[in-house]
Amino acid sequence: MKLNRRRFLELSAASVGAIAYTGHARALRAPWAVPKKWHEGEVRTVYSFCENCFWKCGISVKVEGGKVRKIDGQKQNPKSRGRLCPRGQAGVAQLYDPDRLKRPLIRIEGSKRGEGKYREASWEEALDYVAERMLKIKERYGPEAVAWFGHGSGDSWFVEYLPAAWGSPNAAKPAVSICTAPRETASQWTFGRPIGGHEPVDWTESRYIVLIGHHIGEDTHNTQLQDFSEALRRGARLVVVDPRFSTAASKAHRWLPIKPGTDLALLLAWIHVLIKEDLYDREYVKKYTVGFEELAVHSNKHTPEWAEKITEIPAETIRAVAREMAAAKPRAVLPPGRHTVWYGDDTQRMRAVYILNALLGNYGVPGGFYLAKPPYLEKYPHPAFPLEPAAGGCSGSSGGGEEVPEGYKPRADKGKFFAKTTAIQELIEPMLSGEPYPIRGLVCYGTNLFHSIPNVPRTKEALGKLDLYVAIDVLPQEHVMWADVILPECTYLERYDDLVGIAHKTPFIELRQPAVEPLWDTKPGWWIARELGLRLGLEKYFPWKDIEEYLDTRLQAIGSSLEEMKQQGTLVQKGRPYLKDWERRRRNPFKTPSGKIELYSKTFAEHGLDPLPDYTPPMPVPSGFYRLLYGRSPVHSFAKTQNNWILMELDPENEVWIHRAEGKKLGLRHGEYVWLENDAGVREGPVRVRLTERIRKDCVYLVHGFGHKGRGLRIARGRGASDNALQTRYVLDPISGGAALRNNFVKVVPGAKRPKLERIARLVRERRI
Amino acid sequence: MARYAMIIDLAACVGCSACAAACVLENEAPPGHNRLWIRQRELGTFPDLTVEYRPEQCLHCEHPPCVPVCPTGASHQTEDGLVLVKAERCIACGACIAACPYDARFMNPAGYADKCTFCEHRVARGEDPACVETCPTGCRVFGDLDDPESPLHAWLERAERVDVLRPEMGTRPKLFYLNTPSKTGLHAPEREVES
C-alpha cells in the first residue's frame, strides 16, 4: 500500500489514541499497524461484465482510491443476479498481476520461436512490423494464408471483424471444435435451433434432472449453479451419470458410475424403454416431431440388458430411471452439457440426448428447454465485408457464408467433416503440410495454444514453420512467448469491448466498460484491431474513430445510448420462451428441413451419416493404462486463471485421481508425486496422487488447466500437470468437426519428487494491492 | 440489540469457494491466511459415497472461549452477539488463537488477531455479509435470531437436520450447518480425505 502524507497523518492520529488507550503494550507493534479498510473510503461503482470465464456475468466493480477493490455480481443482471463465483470475485488479482505483459515485444532477430528472447518496442513499431509481414503473406499466398484464433468476449475484433474485412475464412475459436461443436451441430439438425452459450435449460421448473458428464458445481457457471441449487431446493430429483463421483453426483439421488465411453448405449436403452413401455409423450411426439416410426424400429435392439453389458449399469436401474423420468415428464430434462467432444461419436450421442428430451415432450415446455431468443441489436453500419465472419461460436453459428465469393478461398478445414462449424485443430495441419493451401501467418488472441488444442508437439512444430505469429494477450502464457510480436492487451477491467447479446428467456445486452485506466503500456483490443486495420489498408471498414462512437451508434440504433448503458450495464428485452408463445404468434421455432423436431434425420441419411444414433464402442484402453478423464475446478477457468493469486491460494495445483484399490496395487501413497505418461510416450508432471473412492478403476482424472510451463507465470508455473500435454491423440467427430479428447491413455510412473517451488503466500505478498 | 447468526445449508453447498474469494477481497486477509475456508470430506466406499463441502469460519459463539482469555479486552463480544477484535487494543499475545476450539483465528502480520466479523461493516449498512451475498448456490443465510421475521427460522424449521461444530465444547455457536450429508454429522469418522 502506498503511504502518502495525508494517509500517514490519519493513521498516526488513530494510533496516538490507541497508545493512550493501552499503555506501553502498543510499543509491541508499529503505529501504522491497523490500516484503514478500502470500504471505509469513497467507493465508486462501475457496471460491466466479467471475463474470468465465458459465462459473461454482469458485475458491479467497486473502485476506491483509483483502484479496483472488489467485484460483485450486478443485481439487475439476469446472469449474475447479484452473485458471483470465485473467479468473478478474483478478477481484481488479474488486473494487478505484476507478471502481466506490459508493453509490446518483438522477438529478437536470429532467436528461435520458443526461446523467449524479446526486445521492447513501441506500439507504432510493433504494429508496423505486423502489418508489413501480413501484407507480404497476402501478396504471396492470398489473405486466407493468415489464420485468426480467438477466445473470450474480446475476440470479436480478431476472429470476426478483422478477418472478414481482411478476407480470411480461417478464423476459429477453441470454443467450437474443442467444446460445444457436437451439441450445437446435433441441436441444429434435431431442433433446428442452437443450444447457445447460456444453455436454455429451464432448471428451476424441472422436477427430474439427468446429468450426463455435466459437471455443474465444478464448472461454476453462475446462473446455472444458482438455478440448479434452486431446483434441488424445490425438490427436483437428480440423476448423475459419470465415471467419477463428481460434485454434482454428491448432490444426486442416483449416481450411475458408467463405463467411460458408453453413454450412447445408456441413452439408447432409455429411448428403448420409453418407447416399448409406452412412456413417451405421445401427443408432443405426434405434433412436433418426425421420424418416430423409424426410431421405434431402430430402438428394438437397444434393450436395457444389451446396455447393461456395455455400460456396466444394471438393466433394472436403467429401467427404473427411464420410468422415473417418464413419470415426471414434461418436467424431466437431460441438459446438454458444454464440453461435448469426448469419443468421436459425439454428435450422435448429443442427438440421442435430444431425442430423449423430445420423447419426454420437454423442448419449449416449462421444466425442459426454453426457447432462447437473441436480443435485438443492430450492426455498426460499416461497408459490407468481403467475407462473412467465419469463426462461429458456442452457439454453433454457421461459420461463413454459403458461397465463397470470387477471388476468395473456402476454409482450409472444409470437406473434413459434415457441419459448417470451424475446427481449430484442423487449421494446424495446413501450417505444416501446405494442404489444401498454405497457412503462413497466425494472429492469436487469448487462445491458449498449448493448453487447449490437442497434440501440442504438432502445434509447436507448426508455429516453427510460420512466416508470422502474432499473440495478443494479457499474460505471458507459454504459447505467447513463442510469438514474433506480442501485443499486450489491457484486462477486461480496463477496457471497452464490443456489445454482447445474450440469447435467453429474457434476451439482454451487456456493456463492458473500463473501471480504471489501462496499466503500463497496454491497449484495448478494439484499438489494436483498428490500428492494425488502418495499416492493412482496411480503413474503409473502420469509419468510427473510437469505441465510444462505435458503441453509441449501435446503441442509438436500438433506442438506447452509450450514456444510458454506462449507467445500467445491462439492457433486458422481452423473450418468447415457450412453444405456446410461438404458437400464439403462429410462428414455428423449428428451423429444420421438415420444420419439426427431427428424430430421424433425412439430411444425415443423404450425406451417408447414421440418420438415427447408434452405439459405437470407444477406443479400448491398452493394458497397463488408464483412460485419462479431465474436468474443471470451480476455482479456475481453463488455463487462464492459474496465475491469479486469490484463486491459487484456494486451489494451487491439480491432483491425479486414482481409485484407492488401484493406487494400492501400484504402491502409491496419497499425496505423493508421480509422473503421468501417455501411450505415445509423452511424460507430464510431477503431479500429486489423490487416492479416492470417487472414481472407477479403469480411469484417472485431472482437473484441466494446470501444469503451466511459461517462465513468466511466476505463480502458475510448475504446479500440477497439464491434461492437454497428454492429449496427443484426438478422434475427429466426422459430423461436427469436434476433436474428441477422451481417447488418450496414461500410466502412472512413481518416483517423482515434489517440485521445489516458491510458497504461494510468499509470491502473493508482492501482489497485494 | 440483535443476536446475529448464520446458516449454511450443506445440501446446497458445492464447495466452489466463492465465499472465500469474496471474503479475501472484502476484508483484505493477508497472504497465506483466510478468515473463511472450505473443508472437503469424502465418506464411504465406491459406489456408496458421500462428499461434504463445509465452509468454516468464526462461529460467533454465545460463550466464546476467545474472549475471557484476552488480557487487554481487545477480543470482545458486542451487544449484538458478534465476537470481534479491537485491533488497536490487541497486543498479539495469541491467547485467543490458542483458546479457539475451531481454529478460526490467525495472527495478522500487521500485529493483531484477525478473524471473521460476519462483515459487521456491511451488516451495519443493512447488507448481508460478503460470503452470503455472493454464494451462487444460495446455501447461506444471515440474520437475527431474535427477529421473528428473520429467514433463519424458516430455514431451521425446514431442515432435516441441524448441527453445530463441536457442540460438546459448550460454546453455543451461532453458525449452524443444515442437512449435513453424512450420517455421522459433522464429526470426523476414522477415515476421511481432506482437501
Give the tens place of pLDDT for each residue, A656-669.
Answer: 999 999 999 999 99
Q: How far is Cα A191 from Cα A188, in angstroms, rounded to an integer?
A: 6
Average pLDDT, chain A: 93
State whether residue A216 is helix, strand or coil. strand
Query: What value does the mean pLDDT take over residues A458-484?
Result: 97
CA angle A218, A269, A699 (to 5 degrees): 40
Question: What does the pLDDT read at residue A7?
Answer: 41
Q: Which of B18, B28, B30 sits opposite A37 (nearest CB)?
A: B28
Question: What do you get for the CA distance between the two ends of chain B, in Å?
Answer: 39
Domains parsed from chain B with CATH numbers: 4-66+117-178 (3.30.70.20)
User: Does the distance separating the beta carbons of A768 and B134 come in below 8 Å?
Assistant: no
Q: What is the pLDDT of residues B23-66, one digit of tens each?
A: 999 999 988 899 999 999 999 999 999 999 999 999 999 999 99
Q: How far is Cα B6 from Cα A172, in angstroms, rounded to an integer?
A: 48
Q: Is the pLDDT of residue A4 over 70?
A: no
Q: Is the pLDDT of residue A394 over 80?
A: no
Q: Is the pLDDT of residue A410 over 80?
A: yes
**For residues A146 and A442, is the Cβ–Cβ distance under 8 A?**
yes
Q: Which residues of B touch A694 (CB under 8 A)?
A: 42, 46, 49, 51
Question: What does the pLDDT read at residue A9?
Answer: 39
State whether residue A398 is helix, strand or coil. coil
Stretch 628-687 of chain A: residues touching chain B, C-beta under 8 Å: 634-635, 645-647, 649-651, 655, 659, 670
Quote the ipTM score.
Answer: 0.95
Q: How far is Cα A689 from Cα A748, in angstroms, rounded to an integer?
A: 9
Q: What is the pLDDT of residues A738-757, one digit of tens each?
A: 999 999 999 999 999 999 99
CATH class of A201-369+588-606: alpha beta
Tell me which of B10, B13, B14, B158 to substitute to probe the interface with A (most A C-beta atoms closer than 10 Å).
Answer: B14
Question: What does the pLDDT read at residue A416?
Answer: 92
Query: What value does the mean pLDDT take over residues A32-53?
Result: 89
Q: How far is Cα A156 from Cα A179, in angstroms, rounded to an integer?
A: 18
Question: What does the pLDDT read at residue A393?
Answer: 67
What percent of chain B is predicted at pLDDT more than 70?
Answer: 96
Q: At a CB cut-off of 8 Å and minimum separation 6, what does A545 contact?
A: none
**For residues B40 and B53, is the Cβ–Cβ distance under 8 A?**
yes
B62 touches chain A (CB under 8 A): no
CATH code of the domain made up of A5-95: 2.20.25.90
A217 touches chain B (CB under 8 A): yes
Query: What value does the mean pLDDT take over residues A298-318?
Result: 98
Strand partners, A749: A675
Domain A105-179+388-475+482-507+522-558 in CATH 3.40.50.740? The answer is yes
Q: Which of A28, A222, A764 sits opposite B31 (nearest CB)?
A: A764
Segments making up each domain of chain A, as ranges: 5-95, 105-179+388-475+482-507+522-558, 201-369+588-606, 626-765
Q: What is the pLDDT of residues B89-121, one digit of tens each?
A: 999 999 999 999 999 999 999 899 999 999 999
State whether residue B175 is helix, strand or coil. strand
Give the A:B interface size as CB pairs under 8 Å: 180
User: Looking at beta carbons, which pairs linking B139-143 to residues 24 or more positions away fall under 8 Å?
Assistant: B139/A229, B139/B8, B139/B9, B139/B10, B139/B11, B139/B12, B139/B13, B140/B6, B140/B7, B140/B8, B140/B9, B140/B19, B140/B55, B141/B6, B141/B7, B142/B4, B142/B5, B142/B6, B142/B7, B142/B118, B143/B4, B143/B5
- Interaxial angle between packed helices A123-141 and A525-535, expressed in degrees from 0 to 180 and rounded to the nearest 10: 50
What percent of chain A is predicted at pLDDT more than 70?
Answer: 94
Q: How far is Cα B143 from Cα B118, in angstroms, rounded to an integer?
A: 10
State whether residue A126 is helix, strand or coil. helix
Q: What are residue B49's phi and psi, to 5 degrees?
A: -125, 160
Phi-psi map region of A367: left, alpha, beta (phi>0 left; psi -120 to 50 alpha): left
Identify the helix (H) or strand (E) that includes residue B107.
Answer: strand B106-108
User: Does the distance separating the beta carbons of B91 and A86 come in below 8 Å?
Assistant: no
Band of residue A769 on the pLDDT scale cut at 50, 70, 90: low
Band of residue A10 on the pLDDT scale cut at 50, 70, 90: very low
CATH code of the domain made up of A626-765: 2.40.40.20
Q: Is the pLDDT of residue A12 over 50?
A: no
From the number of C-beta atoms within 10 Å of its C-beta (0-12, 13-18, 19+), residue A769 rates as middle
**For residues A50 and A84, is the Cβ–Cβ distance under 8 A?**
yes
Size (chain B), residues: 195
Nearest residue of B to residue A27 by CA position?
B91
Q: How far is Cα A514 from Cα A342, in angstroms, rounded to an integer?
A: 38
Amino acid, single-letter form, for residue B123: V
User: Does the distance separating the beta carbons of B15 and A34 come in below 8 Å?
Assistant: no
Nearest residue of A to residue B136 by CA position?
A226
Closest CA to A258 of A76, A267, A748, A92: A267
Sequential DSSP letters for A245-305: --HHHHT-SEEE-PPTT-HHHHHHHHHHHHHHTT-S-HHHHHHHEE-HHHHHHHGGG--HH
A253 touches chain B (CB under 8 A): no
Question: What do you get for the CA distance between the two ends of chain A, in Å?
Answer: 6
**For residues B162 and B176, is the Cβ–Cβ distance under 8 A?**
yes
